[in-house]
Every structure is written in C-alpha cells, then in structure tokens.
Homo-oligomer: A and B are copies of this chain.
C-alpha cells in the first residue's frame, strides 16, 4: 500500500474537511500554518513556517502540495513547484488572486463579466463612475473576501468616502450588475484533463457572508445550466487546472455573468459532503493524488447548506433532525466567524424549505 502524503498550505476548516475526506482513501496530511491550534491540527502534523528550515521539513514529508486560500503567496508556490508538484498550479492561483487579471481572463475566454475599469487615482474613479454609470462597486484588486475591501458608490457624493476607505490599494471599479440571484458552479479536473461538474448552487448572502446554499438552484433553465458548465470547463482547461475550482456567477435576464473564481473547494460546495456521491473535498484529494475522479451527482434530489456563523447556536436541534448533518470546525465563537455548517438532504423542495425554515435561527440570530 503506497500511502500518498498531501501537504496543505493553511490549516483551517477547508484543510480539516479535506483530511477527513482523504483519510479513508489512505492519504495522509501535513499542514503548513503558523497557528498552534487550528481546525486541521487534530488531523495531521502542522509545520509552522517560522520554524528553522520549515519549508524543507514540510516538503520532505509530502508527495504533493495544495492550498486552502486564493491568497496563498505565489512566490512560495513557485519555490515549492521546483521540488514538489503543487495543484492547482501557479497559473490558477495568479489569475484568482487579482480581480483585474481574472476579469481579463474571463473576457478572453468569452465569459460575460461586469464592465470594469482599473482605478489608480481619484480622478480615474470619477471617470469610471461617469463611463460605467452609477452605482459602481469599488474593490481592491487583491485580498478581498466576504465583503471586505469593497465600497459601493451609489451617488456621486459617495465617491469621496469610497476613495478614502480604499485608497492606497490597487483598485478596480465594476459596473453594477442587475442580477436576480447569486449562483456558483464547482468542478474538478484531474491531471489527464478529465472533468466533473457539480450541480449549480444558489447562494443567499447577508452582510457579505454566505448564509445558505441550495442545490440545485431553483428553476434554473437548462440553457443557463449548460452555460455555467461551459464557463467553468473553459476556465479549467485554459489554466490547465488540477483540483477543484469554483466560479461565482450572477443570474441575469441576459444570461450568467461571472463574478469571481476561487482555485479551491468552496463554502457553497459544502452540501456535497452528504449531498453528492463524491464530496468536493474527496474530489479535490482524488484529483491532486492522481486517483480516478468520483461522481459529482446528487444522492437525493435536493440539498442545502446553512452556515453557522459567530455563535454555535442550538446544536441539539440539528442532531435531532433526521436529514440534517452537523459539521463543526473546532473554532471559538467570534463575530462573523464561520464556525461550522449544517447540511440537509431531501427528496423534495418542499421538505428542504421546511427544514431550512426550522433552522432560521442559525441565519438570523448568529452573526
């Protein structure tokens, strides 16, 4: 038996769930992270980057490296690539961590995006507002997530405060997209170029944080389903991506518009742990370890994921619900922190909505 050893840069809940999914496939995990205690630290050795010869020690213990975040240091990944394969590769990382590069890539592939302008001065922000028309969203080109690093300019008077909030960063101004809902599509690609795509998820956000994902997205036309799958396959192939990739989409009257991508497993794919035959975590591990891909099909017709944010809430209510599955990350409570999630699997939309309704406290009172 040749146990495969996977190194993960980061040791948060995504690493934890990858390790829980990969261990039954005889894959061992080593984490590269500064935290002494972390969601992943019960599931494998953690090497702290500040230790002497940390990187060398890490690389000696692994056959392949992956990462938890699109904000992973590209220089570090380039260095690792020289001795150990890193999946997804440096290209996937570079295009995901810079909003301008990312949007240009989408355009090049014929994937619809919001209109956008690069903004380096306040004058350019004024020009962008005039050319794109208000409202616009001003964003840092790097490091933004969960609504951080963003400011909305609704009226010309907002320009000053938006500029003051974000100046000093490289910025992008994006035209407002008139969308009915947010969707995401998640897919996996192996080293031979085979791909598998999960059903499109419909995502409810509040205060910039994902609260609920439903799968499949309600009443999504076959045309849009096909468009989502075409988009993500274009991105996967153009980046020669290996592993899981997520594409966030806006649903509009004129079709789907790409918002951003993440070269990793994604919060909107957590439903797949019990909802699909092969979860996004197992899919990622299989792909980067050169194993055959699993099936991304749903096991029951409907699934949902509800985030547990800020407070742990009434755990017993989840455990007492037959078709609910509790996934905690071993983290302390803190405002806006993702502490875990609840997965639901059902045979009808009606039952799913009834279940979601019974857990509204997790969505409304936590935060």
Contact = CB atoms under 8 A, between A and B. Distances in A.
Interface of A: 1, 3, 16, 20, 23-26, 28-29, 42-44, 277, 286, 291-292, 294-295, 297, 299-300, 312, 315-316, 319-320, 322-323, 325-328, 330-333, 339-340, 345
Main secondary structure of the interface of A (DSSP, over half): loop
B277 A292 contact: no
Contacts of A20: 20, 23-24
Nearest to A345: B299
B42 A312 contact: no
Contacts of A24: 20, 325-328
Given A42-B44, A291-B316, A330 B3 contact: yes
Nearest to A44: B42
Given A20-B20, A297-B322, 15 more contacts: A1-B312, A1-B330, A1-B332, A23-B42, A23-B330, A24-B325, A24-B327, A26-B328, A28-B42, A42-B43, A291-B315, A291-B316, A291-B319, A295-B323, A299-B299
A339 B26 CA distance: 10
B319 A294 contact: yes
A345 B327 CA distance: 22
Nearest to A320: B292
Given A1-B312, A42-B44, A322 B300 contact: no
Contact of A277 (B1, B25, B323): B323
A45 to B, nearest CB: 9
A346 to B, nearest CB: 11
A172 B63 CA distance: 53
A24 B312 CA distance: 13
Nearest to A328: B26
A24 B28 CA distance: 18
A108 to B, nearest CB: 35
A331 B277 contact: no
A154 to B, nearest CB: 39
How many copies of this chain? Answer: 2
Centre residue among A299, A332, A333 by max chain B CB count within 10 A? A299
Given A20-B20, A42-B44, A299-B299, A316 B331 contact: no
Contacts of A3: 330
11 contacts: A1-B332, A1-B339, A20-B20, A23-B42, A26-B330, A42-B43, A42-B44, A43-B43, A291-B319, A292-B316, A295-B323
A227 to B, nearest CB: 25
B333 A1 contact: yes
A295 B321 CA distance: 8
Contacts of A315: 291
A43 B25 contact: no
A277 B28 contact: no
A96 to B, nearest CB: 28
Q: Which of A277, A297, A339 has the most CB of B within 10 A?
A: A277
Contacts of A28: 42, 330
Nearest to A286: B319
A276 to B, nearest CB: 10
A323 B315 CA distance: 30
A300 B347 CA distance: 11
Given A23-B42, A23-B43, A312-B1, A277 B322 contact: yes
A295 B20 CA distance: 22
